[in-house]
Amino acid sequence: MTTWLSAGLIFTFIAIAFVIYRWGNVRCVGVTPVRTFTFIAILFTSGLDVGLIMFPLTEFAGYADLATSPEYAFTNPLAVEFGFWAFLIWGFYFLTCFYFCVIEPRVKFFELPPIKLINNIVIIGTCAFTAFLLLSNLNWYLPEIGDGSKYSTSFYLVVFGVIACAVYSSTSIRYVRLLSLATTWLFLGLIAIMWSGAFLSENSSIGEFATTIALIGGYFGNIHEFLLPMNDYHEFYLYWWFAWSIMIGQFTARFVGGLRTYQVLLAMLVFPSIPIGIWFTVLYYYSANSIDTTGFYNIIMAVVGITFVINSLDSLIRLYTDNLNITVARVGKLKYFLGNLVVLSLLTLLFKYEFLQIQWVGAVVIGLFFSCFAYILIAKFKEVSAIDCSPEENEIDFKKIELAN
């Protein structure tokens, strides 16, 4: 599995470099272009899940335990956490977003029946894994509503309700957009509240924030350490990002609103990394200084984490139901709602009982990367070589929008 993952990573980074070299100045226009801020909000809230909120506080101590994990000795725990979640890793999403915006309309690889089936199985499986992550972490953040066990009945009910909300939200693209923007502002509000609690208290200062966030420089100074898996846990994260990459690219590609290719790359690397870096800095300060988060802070983190899950799931549900033509217009709202609710709830249980693993899903996605590249070389090389702009129909619609504004 490590060799397969390393091959996928090397291929991905080479492909990103080639895209910038060959099509760096192409204007990317999706089928439903939106303003840049809205695009970033959709990307950020759809491309992240509850792990961003719930994982760091449980992980910093492990990264600091060099006796158990000496491979982390090259930098500090904050830089490791940042490297697992931010900057370079978002290049995965850039590559797939560009592909589905500019190349896939000419290649139509993902419209081939077997590829379409595999891709949608990946999407559905990753949706269920996202719900499972919420289920498995609620006991740490909200022990007050549990019965002392990791998987109490109340936690199952919370996750079931989250899946139900996400399915309902996916019934309209308007809900998806509004929830993306609302989740972005909610997350920024969470950062502000916890930042104030950490750095505006009597025992701290804004200077402490500057000192702490400077630790992220340990990532940029050692960025090469993150290119290939450094241990099994890093491997888990990388497979997890691969599992998300195709579906997030496929979903966000429709919303790109005229940015040049190099601008899309910069936007994806930089804009999500800023709030992630600030958020992780705040959490690391709490962890390093043993500041208690039980009660109010854990509750608001859980609330924001739940909105992230709803936001991620509704985007992905919308994607695979559109791909499979299981839309509200075709099957009706009730059948659509009940069918998705049952399928995702059952698959969440499969992850809980370890019948499924996210690493398997990521490995399948790497296989799709290689298969798509081979298909282009064999069957679509001339079409791809001739690409010099986004699909003409998207360009025409975008120009009409520009003129109307």
**Per residue in 90-108, pLDDT tens?**
999 999 999 999 999 999 9
Compare 162 and 315 and report the one with higher pLDDT: 162
Do 91 and 267 form a contact (C-beta atoms < 8 A)?
no
Q: Which helix (H) or strand (E) holds 29?
A: strand 27-29
Give the separation between CA 400 and CA 405, rounded to whole angstroms: 9
> Radius of gyration over alpha carbons of the chain, in Å?
21
Question: Domain range holding 258?
Answer: 2-404
| Close Cβ partners of 66 (under 8 Å, ≥ 6 residues apart) | 72, 73
**Per residue in 65-84, pLDDT tens?**
999 999 999 999 999 999 99
Strand partners, 29: 257
**Per residue in 251-269, pLDDT tens?**
889 888 888 999 999 999 9
Residue 182 has pLDDT above 90, yes or no: no
- Neighbouring CB atoms inside 10 A of 334's CB total 9
* pTM, to two decimals: 0.87
Counting the structural domains of the chain, the total is 1
CATH number, domain at 271? 1.20.1740
SS3 for 94?
Answer: helix
Do 384 and 107 form a contact (C-beta atoms < 8 A)?
yes
What is the band of 404 on the pLDDT scale with cuts at 50, 70, 90? very low
Residue 400 has pLDDT above 60, yes or no: no
Q: How far is CA 44 from the centre of its chain?
A: 7
SS3 for 149?
Answer: coil
Do 131 and 162 form a contact (C-beta atoms < 8 A)?
yes
